[in-house]
């Protein structure tokens, strides 16, 4: 009895979706999300939008660092900045971060962003490779064996093939860049 009511209720609720063009509606929503994500709603060109977002992120980073340093060295009279309270630390860190974010040249912001992007890319690409290589060298020790068995040799061979595949895919995709 309860299942028939549930079936009837679900059927009545699903009737509008059969009549509506749900893919167009979802596509329009996705276009709006992408419009917000690529910052074209600001009316800026791509390079200006990237520099603006980088400037905001630099402000947040500098505020956080300055606030943490000032807060660590203040609050107690024995410390170097003991005369500053937490409210003072917020104001000083905000002013220094704002001055620095406003007066940093665009070229410095672009170079900073490119440097950090390169570092993160190296970590994301090199991390799995280093991890798999470390696993290859320590697998026998972790399994509590003195010598390789057939199973560990097959596992190490599989890991080597995986490493070889990852490096070939990276070489293929990075080959067009250089």
DSSP codes of every residue in 59-105: HHHHHHHHHHHHHHTBSSTTSTBTT--HHHHHHHHHHHHHHHHHHS-
Of 176 and 64, more confident: 64
**Mean local confidence (pLDDT), 132-138:** 81
Q: How many CB atoms lie within 10 A of CB 74?
A: 19
Q: Which of 104, 128, 162 is the last residue of a domain?
A: 104
**79 lies in the same domain as 135:** no
For the cut 80, the answer to whether the pLDDT of residue 69 exceeds it is: yes
Q: Which of 86, 104, 122 is the last residue of a domain?
A: 104
Q: How far apart are CA 71 and CA 81, in angstroms?
A: 9
**136 lies in the same domain as 169:** yes
Q: Which of 56, 86, 104 is the last residue of a domain?
A: 104
**Mean local confidence (pLDDT), 68-86:** 73
What pLDDT, on the 0 to 100 scale, is given for residue 77? 62
**148 lies in the same domain as 80:** no
Name the pTM for this structure. 0.53
**121 lies in the same domain as 159:** yes
Structural domain for 164, as ranges? 107-178
**138 lies in the same domain as 83:** no
**169 lies in the same domain as 111:** yes
Q: Does 151 map to a domain?
A: yes
Look at residues 125, 136, 133 and name the one whose alpha carbon lies nearest to residue 166.
125
Separation in Å, CA 75 to CA 81, 83, 97: 7, 7, 21
Token couple for 82: 């003991």
Q: How far apart are CA 68 and CA 74, in angstroms?
A: 10
Q: What tens digit of pLDDT does each residue of 20-40 get?
A: 566 666 667 777 777 666 666
Find out whether 105 and 46 touch, Cβ atoms under 8 Å.
no
DSSP string over 129-146: HHHHHHHHHHHHHHTT-S
Q: Does 6 map to a domain?
A: no
Name the domain count of the chain. 2
Q: Does 47 map to a domain?
A: yes
């Amino acid at each position: 009895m309860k299942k028939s009511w549930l079936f009837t209720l679900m059927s009545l609720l699903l009737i509008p979706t059969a009549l509506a063009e749900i893919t167009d509606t979802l596509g329009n929503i996705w276009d709006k999300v992408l419009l917000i994500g690529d910052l074209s709603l600001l009316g800026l060109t791509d390079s200006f939008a990237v520099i603006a977002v980088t400037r905001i992120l630099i402000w947040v980073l500098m505020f956080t660092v300055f606030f943490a340093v000032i807060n660590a060295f203040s609050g107690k009279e024995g410390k170097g900045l003991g005369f500053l309270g937490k409210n003072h630390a917020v104001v000083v860190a905000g002013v220094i971060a704002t001055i620095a974010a406003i007066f940093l040249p665009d070229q410095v912001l672009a170079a900073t962003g490119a440097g950090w992007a390169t570092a993160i890319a190296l970590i994301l690409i090199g991390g799995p490779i280093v991890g798999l290589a470390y696993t290859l060298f320590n697998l026998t020790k972790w399994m509590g064996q003195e010598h390789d068995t057939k199973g560990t040799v097959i596992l190490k061979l599989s890991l080597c093939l995986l490493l070889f595949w990852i490096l070939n895919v990276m070489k293929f995709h990075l080959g067009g860049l250089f």
